[in-house]
Amino acid sequence: MKSRKTLWFWCCLLGLIVFLTVFSSLLAPFSPNKMNMEEVYSAPSSEHWLGTDHLGRDVLSRLLEGGKVTLAVASSSVILSLVIGVVYGGISGYFGGVIDTVMMRLLEALITIPSLIIILVFQAIIQGGMWGMALLIGLTGWLVTARIVRSEFIRLKEEEFVKMANMFGTPVWKILWGHLLRNSIPAIFVVTLFNFAGAIFMEVSLSFLGIGIPPAIPSWGNMLYYAQNDILIGAWWIALFPGIMIFLTILAINFIGEAWKNPERRRVND
């Protein structure tokens, strides 16, 4: 009962953050890129709730708009990695044998290279923008998903109901879709949630290093990057609020993921 309430709380918080960022263009009090040189570095006040930055831009507006960018990059990359992971892991798990061995050795080789390094290198070479980065994060983030899908498929294909469907001559795609994938959803959901948190973190890290989202587009990571200098002159609000948002979002996703990991919520016993 208690865990249900906590889950509820974190879902609401995440929902609120998503809602605020999705409708940022309606909710933001100022245009995120509107500069006002007369109000540079003004502390939080009734007019600018979260203050302004070194160009006099409203931090709240940039925070909401930046959230949209960060979450858009994270979601699109997660969807991409989900698709690749499910297909790769599915093929490997369903067919097994030599195919499985080859695919898993390849995956293990890839998993030893930290994805941050790969993304750093490619991002530096192709100088990718927002979508380029989403693509890179997606292309490097499917490894764990593939592993999970593979192990679920291997476990499920030995189950009696799958054998039974096979015996009745159910078409392979129906077994893959309706029997194997459908019953892997809880596990895939959890790993995708954690991937999502990871993707947000990746965007923030890269932008913080100055090679992520181009400067003209606000994102949470970008805001942190530019706030580095501002902190030195005492403008704490520019860094604090994006920091809190990143912290809360990742925390919420992790708590939701943890709650779902709880086997009591699953239908198929491991």
Partner 1 sequence: MIEVKDLSIEIKDQHITKHIDFTIRRGKITSLIGESGSGKSMTVSALLGLLPIDAKVSGYVMYEGRNILDASVQEMASLRRQDIFTIFQDASNSFNPSVKLGHQLYTFSGERVGDTLDVFNEKMHVILDQLGLAWEVVEQYPFQLSGGMLQRCMIACAFYVEPALLIADEPTSALDMVLQKEFIQLLIRLNEERGTTILLITHDLDIVAEAAHEMAVMQQGTIVEMGTVETVFSNPRDAYTKRLLESRF
Minimum distance from residue 270 beta carbon to partner 1 (Å): 12
Return the number of the residue (159 or 258) whose C-beta is nearest partner 1.
159
Taking alpha carbons only, the member of 135, 147, 18 closest to residue 81 is 135
Minimum distance from residue 267 beta carbon to partner 1 (Å): 5
DSSP 32: T
Name the site residues for partner 1 (rule: CB under 8 A).
Answer: 159-161, 164-165, 167-170, 178-179, 182-183, 185, 267-268
Minimum distance from residue 166 beta carbon to partner 1 (Å): 8
- Asked if 198 contacts 208 with a C-beta cutoff of 8 angstroms, the reply is no
Return the number of the residue (169 or 234) whose C-beta is nearest partner 1.
169
- The H-or-E segment that residue 242 falls in is helix 237-261
Return the number of the residue (164 or 209) whose C-beta is nearest partner 1.
164
Return the number of the residue (51 or 90) whose C-beta is nearest partner 1.
90
Minimum distance from residue 173 beta carbon to partner 1 (Å): 14
Return the number of the residue (129 or 171) whose C-beta is nearest partner 1.
171
Minimum distance from residue 2 beta carbon to partner 1 (Å): 24
Q: How many CB atoms lie within 10 A of CB 232?
A: 8
Q: Give the gyration radius of the chain's Cα atoms.
A: 22
- Asked if 55 contacts 35 with a C-beta cutoff of 8 angstroms, the reply is yes
Q: How many CB atoms lie within 10 A of CB 30?
A: 18
